[in-house]
Structure 1
């Protein structure tokens, strides 16, 4: 069953994607005034990988990349936030069919659809799932974790909206458009 689920290309993309996620999360993050929360560029890359390689790859890149980054950076893994990275990668990959990037066309309506999808995925993840799991798993104070979730969510929505859109526009230009073939005489 799983044999046909992931191609070699997708498995390699997961490995490379997780490694790039770690590098971006560790070295290309901007500290925020809220403790243990930063503005992450890694989610723009996660969105690109989820759109290109699908929901399983997006979920695994988010899971592996975030978990390894936490382990390397903090010495322990904050599973509630790792779960959200997995959720965001999965949902963006799952809903990528609404803005089919492989067609080579990523026009204004597709940019809007992509951003609606990523706002919904990250809104559910950072505003609801992360704080709720922080309270249930770690017994953290509600006001603290909802503030952290809000700051993380807003900053990730903005970085994916800007950097993620730019990455997807660039990627779309590498795809052949459906109407690009011409008859030779």
Structure 2
């Protein structure tokens, strides 16, 4: 793993903690909030790849749980890691470090983040809640539905804006000219 990726994991995890603790909105469903942290996680996963995305989701969620609740809820920690991992899988295809965030890239990103949210919050988190914690299925699938749908919206809006803005700050190779 590159030093740059390790540093990104550390910074991303810290930012995930801060955003999930201080930039989230309660939904009315117990232990379920509208989270801006997943937009940041998506940005980091696109910039640094699936391993970084998975690690940031995992470590960031552990830090959040420890500081917010004093205990770990592994089903949701694993779901956060799965989300970061899946979004990171398209990092090479989107490649915003060297190209503009085109309409095609926006579409690929949003289809990927929708799938990642559906897998993480519609499958992984509720099933692990039932297996690990013997939670009621109707409760955990409601939480997953609310978390997944709000994450789809926040990542779709904020994540797309972050990626678009980031790609526009990068110097493009085709814009450079050799001086004599």
Does the TM-score normalized on the shorter chain lie above 0.5?
yes
TM-fit CA distance, 1:183: 4.5
Q: Which moved more, 1:106-115 or 1:17-26?
A: 106-115
Q: Is the 8 A contact 1:104 1:174 kept in 2?
A: no
Q: Distance in 2 between matches of 1:95 and 1:137?
A: 30
TM-fit CA distance, 1:29: 0.2
Task: Say yes or no: does 1:7 pair with 2:2.
Answer: yes
Q: 2:38 aligns with which of 43, 64, 72?
A: 43
Does the residue aligned with 2:166 lie in a helix, a strand or coil?
helix
Q: State the TM-score, normalized to the length of structure 1.
A: 0.94
- Counterpart residue number, 1:3: none
Aligned residues: 180
Q: RMSD in angstroms over aligned alpha carbons?
A: 1.1
Runs of 4+ in 1 over 6 A off after TM superposition: none
- Counterpart residue number, 2:85: 90
- Counterpart residue number, 1:127: 122
Does the residue aligned with 1:30 lie in a helix, a strand or coil?
strand
Does the residue aligned with 1:75 lie in a helix, a strand or coil?
coil
Q: State the TM-score, normalized to the length of structure 2.
A: 0.96
Structure 1: gaps of 5 or more residues: 1-5
Q: Which moved more, 1:132-141 or 1:175-184?
A: 175-184
Structure 2: gaps of 5 or more residues: none
Q: Distance in 1 between matches of 2:39 and 2:126?
A: 22
